[in-house]
Every structure is written in C-alpha cells, then in structure tokens.
Structure 1
Amino acid sequence: MKFTLSAEQRDFAAALHDLLSGSDTPAAVRAWSRGDHEPGLKVWRNLAGMGVLELLGESDIEAADVVVAFEAFGYHAVPGPLIESVVVAPLLLPGNTEIVTVLAPPEVPFALDADIARVVLRLDGGKAARMAVEEATPVSSIDPARRLFRVRGTAEESIVDADVARAFDYAVLAVAAQLLGAGQWLLDTAVAYAQQRHQYGRPIGGYQAIKHLLADVVTRLELARPLIHGAAVAIDGSAASVTRDVSAAKVAAGDAAYLAARTALQVHGAIGFTAEHDLGLWLTKVRALVGAWGGGAFHRRRVLEGLG
C-alpha cells in the first residue's frame, strides 16, 4: 500500500501554503470570531480563484487530495464551513455552489456558521435532506471562530440515493487532516520560539527537557500521518475497513494535535495565554476539532467494532 504523495500533490500542497501564507489568516480568524466574515470569505475567494474549491468538489477527486488540502487549511487555520461546503456537499448535492452547513446528530449536534450558510443539510439514519430553517440560535464554542448554531426547522427536500456514510467518513478524514496541519503549525511555532527565547544565556531549545517535549510531538504527528493517508487509500478503494480506518486516523490525529497544543503552550509559557498572541487561535481550534464530527469515545468505539 503506497502512502507517499505524488509530485503533483506535493506541488499542490506547496501552492496552497504559498497562497495561504500571504493571506493573513490570523486576522481573518479574529474577524470571523467577531462575526465579520468578509476577511475569511476573501481567503475562500482566493482559494476559489486558484481552483482549489472547484477541484475538491469534483466527483472523481482522490481522498489524498482532500487530505493535502485540509492539512494546509488546518496549518493556516482557515475559518468557515469548508468541510461541509467542499467535501460533504459535493457528495450529496452535486453541482452546489453555495456555502453549506451540516447537522448530523448526535455526533454533529450544531450547525457550523449557520448564519452565513445558504444551505443546511441534515444527515440522520442514513438519510439526507435539505432543511427549511425556522430558527438558528448561537451556541457558545471553545473556539470563537467555530460559530455554532442550534438550528430548528423542517425537512424541505429529501436527497435521493444519498451515500450518507461515505459523506460522513470523508468529513472525518478531512477533520483528521485539519488536526494534523494544526498540530504541525503548533510544533513549528514552538520550535521557532524555543530557538529565539533565551534563558540563562542560551536558547531554551538547547535544554534537554525542551528537546524531549518537542521530540514527543514529532513522533506523535508522524505516527498519525500514515494512518490518515492509509484511510484516504481505503476510501478511494472502497475498502471494507473504511469506517475503522478513518476513525483510527481521527483518534491519532486528535491525540497528536492535542499533545502539540499542550507542548506549544508549555514552551511559550505565559505569553501563550495572551489574546494578542496567535498561539491561542490554534489552541482553541485544536480543542474544538478533537470533538468535531465525533469525539474520541465515538471513534474508538468504531475502531473496536471494525476490529471485532
């Protein structure tokens, strides 16, 4: 089984990082948290102009391409319902060009960014339907940029022949890739800070204790990576183990990213708690994504059932 990226996929990843590095996503995330969506939507338009969103919406897209894109989105903390709009929606609503959010209780009990979504999909019991929204009430989130809403409404239009299980698994894979990207940003930021911050006349990164902390994060991230790419291969091959594989990837990526978040905060010290420092944007995002599209207990149970 081959997990390595092709030359085209590596070029795709590099182009995404170049685009997003110049997009000032931390400012867009802060604005999104305040309800100002325009800077974040500008990032979306830049991605659309590059053809990324259209590419991800194609029916014959490889799951590995989704992983590459969402790892970059996680690394740069791109805000908004990207999973819902460019991963789930194309599988259930081919040809849709509007911003979409999704309800899939109990794992996805609240609709992400329902205030800007033009379409609300409800996934329930293997069925999918567009909702006619009657009321959307904001719900507090540990990540202010993940604006959650309790949506009340009725099924407006059932989607015939919807492969809800496949759409759900694709969403889980995309979250895992986001977590991997966010964890990598936290690691890179912690390493850079450890090289710059001096204590007792030398960089703190030179101390063995700091080296061990960072090495543990590297190990966990690199162990999660092949599980994510293996799950992508399983999806593309319609393997019987897809559910188990994507859940294992989500658990591993969540644990690795959470360790990266804790370690980055420990390396930065008190400055990491300040609202002005970008670190907090990734800390809260990781904490929220760990529970998105199913928490650890749900996915560990799916792995256990798959093994059984």
Structure 2
Amino acid sequence: MRFALSPEQRDFAAALDELLAGADTPGVAREWAERRFEPGRKLWRELADLGVWGLLVPEEHGGADAEPADAVVALEACGYHAVPGPVVETTVVAPRLLGGDELARVAAGESMVTAAIPPEVPRALDADAADVVLRLDGTAVQRISSDMDSGGRMPSIDATRGLFPAAEHGEVLGAARPHAFALGVLGVSAQLLGAARRMLAMATEYASQRRQYGRAIGQYQAVKHLLADVTVSLTMARPLVDGAAVTLASGAAEPVVMRDISAAKVAATRAALLAARTSLQVHGAIGYTAEHDLGLWLTKVRALAGAWGTADAHRTRVLTAVRGEHAD
C-alpha cells in the first residue's frame, strides 16, 4: 500500500507552513516557557481560522469531521514549528472526550483542552493555560481541577511543557468515544516526525554554511552520511505513522489499532532522537546554548519521547500483539 497526501492535504500543509513560518514560533515558545500565554493564544486563534482544532470534531458541532490522517498533517506541522501548548490533547483527544457546546468551542478555537489518561498519561499538560482540564477514568470522562500553584507544576526537560497533577475525582461529563489514548499517541508521533524534519533541515542548512579547512562541512562524506542516516530513519517512520492513521479510521479492533499506533510511536521516537543527536553533532558547541533555536527542538523531542508511553512500553505492546496473532 502506498501512502501519499491528497491535493487537499498538501494545500492544508502548505497553508499551515506559511502561517507558522511567519509567526516567530521560537519566540512564542520562549514566552510560553515563562508562562506568558497571550502570544501562544494569539497563534492558537490563527490556527483555529485554518480549522486545526476542529479537524476531528463532527460537523454538527462546527468541525470538519476529518480523518486521523488530516490531524497527522496538522500535528506534524506543529512539531516542525515547535508550537507550544496541549496541541495533541486539543486536536485529537478532546473530540473523543467532549460533546455538545464544549466541543463546538474547541472547534472555534475558544477552548484549549488538556487531559490526563492514567496510568500512561498521569499528568495534565499545561493545565495552567487550558480552559478545560479532563481526566479519563476507564470510560468515564471527568472535568477536574489541577494543582496549579507554584508547587504543583512538575519539571520537564522541555521548558515549554508544564505538567500538573490531576485530581482523582471530578464532575462526570459522560462516556468517552473509543481510541482517545490511541489518538494521543498518534498525535505525539506526528509531532516527533515534524520535529525530526525541522532538526534535519537545520543541520543541513548549518552544514552548508559552516566551513572548515576551506570547505563547507556538508561537503565531507562523514557529515553527509550522518544526515543521510536521519533521512532514512524518517523515511522508514513516516509510513508507520500514516499507516496507523489509516488503521484508526478503518474501524479495526483495539489490539490491531494499538499494535499499529505503538509501532508508529517507536519508529517516530527513534527517528526524532537520531535527528536530535545528529543535529547537535553537526552544530557543535553552539547547539548547546540556550540562545540557539535548536535547543527548543532538542528538549521537545526528549520530552515527547516519553510522553504518551515510552518506546519500551510501546515495543512491549507490539510484541504482545504479534505473539497473539501468531499463537496456535
């Protein structure tokens, strides 16, 4: 099976890239890290105008009722440009947990949503910025409070990510639609792909500019091989992410969905970590500095690698699924 973006998806990706490229997302991310949210909220409103937050929202609630593959396009762009905030939770998880007027506000860009889904997602991301904080307990969706004073925020290697303990009990809103967790994993996988592409682009550009012994370092075979390895890893990961989106839309059984979703997360994590390591190696000491934009993607990838389940946990899911499929 060959996966390729439709003309509409390519146009959507181009529109997102044009918007985000002109939005100074590194500056927005640095403001967000200082818990100054207004620049980020302004960007979120602009993304709402392109329909990002309503992609998976049913049409009767003002959304596009699109496929998971469309959300992958949007979240990969968010990863490429380091858009801060609970983008995965709002884009792909909230439509599985909310309904009615609440969901209409999400589609309109009026409500930023975060969620905890224990045990895999025990803390609510950026609960101090979100308008709605949810917790999924089994199939029950609860609107909860979160400990958002200075002692409640948990540290993250990514300074833009604020992690908050979620209350164990809250107002029950109803039952969740299927695959909320799976969609969260898919969303993070798409973000990782986008971040990996950005770091590869940054490393390639820097290698064409930095000179040693009278030549751009990108002309040396050793550097070319490093960048080629990242390209291959990304090329191998992308079909797994796209394939997982197709599986989600197909109505497949939960074990099959989680097998494909977990495989996508493992591959995307591997590609992003390789891109981070290679980009830092190509940049050298300047890549370690807080002032260089590369650090925004380095720390984000390190955080997303463990978000919504570690690679080891997802490898175990894949192994369990494969063993079950081949059991006598």
TM-score bin (small chain):
over 0.9
Cα drift, residue 159 of structure 1: 1.5
After TM superposition, list the pairs within 5 Å mapping 1:118-267 onto structure 2: 118-133=131-146, 137-152=152-167, 154-160=169-175, 162-163=176-177, 165-240=178-253, 241-267=256-282
Q: Give the structure 1 partner of residue 99 of structure 2.
A: 94
CA distance in 2, matches of 1:231, 1:54: 20
Alignment of 1:19-168 (within 5 A): 19-58=19-58, 60-95=65-100, 96=102, 97=105, 98-133=111-146, 137-152=152-167, 154-160=169-175, 162-163=176-177, 165-168=178-181
TM-score with structure 2 setting the length: 0.90
| SS of aligned partner of 1:139 | coil
Tell me the TM-score normalised to structure 1 length.
0.95
Aligned 8 A contact 1:243 1:302 in 2: yes
Match of 1:292 in 2: 307
Alpha-carbon distance in structure 2 between the residues aligned to 1:36 and 1:158: 30
Q: 1:134–1:79: structure 2 CA closer, same or farther, 3 Å change rule?
A: closer
When residues 214 and 168 of structure 1 are mapped into structure 2, their CA distance, relative to the original with a 3 A threshold, is same
Quick check: 1:133–1:154 contact (8 Å CA) kept in 2? Answer: no
**In 2, Cα distance between equivalents of 1:247 and 1:227:** 9
AA aligned opposite 2:9: Q
- CA drift at 1:135: 5.8
Residue deviations 1:112-171 (CA, integer Å, cap 9, x gap): 0111222221123343222244666111100000111123352211423x23x5111111
Higher share in strand: 1
C-alpha distance in structure 1 between counterparts of 2:298 and 2:226, whole Å: 17
Quote how far apart the aligned CAs of 1:51 are: 2.5
Which deviates more from structure 2 when the two are superposed, residues 2-11 or residues 189-198?
2-11
Instruction: Name the count of aligned residue pairs.
Output: 306
Identity of aligned residues (%): 59
Determine the C-alpha separation between the residues in 2 that align with 1:13 and 1:113. 26
Cα deviation digits, residues 185-209 of structure 1 (max 9, x gap) = 0000000000000000000001111
- The unaligned stretches of length 5 or more in structure 1 are none
Contact 2:238–2:268 (CA under 8 A) maintained in structure 1? yes
| Cα distance per residue 1:94-118 (max 9 Å; x no partner) | 2422211111122112110111222
Where 1:129 maps in the other structure, the secondary structure is strand
Q: Residue type matched to 1:139 in 2?
A: M
Kindly indicate whether the alpha-carbon contact (under 8 Å) linking 1:205 and 1:211 is maintained by their aligned counterparts in 2: yes
- Quote the RMSD (CA, aligned, Å): 1.5
Unmatched tracts of structure 2, length 5 or more:
60-64, 106-110, 324-328
Please give the per-residue CA displacement for 1:269-292, whole angstroms capped at 9, x wherever unaligned. 000011110000000000000111
Aligned-partner SS, 1:262: helix
Report SS of the residue matched to 2:308: coil
1:233-253 deviations in whole A, cap 9, x for unaligned? Answer: 101101231110011000100
Amino acid in structure 2 at the alignment position of 1:18: E
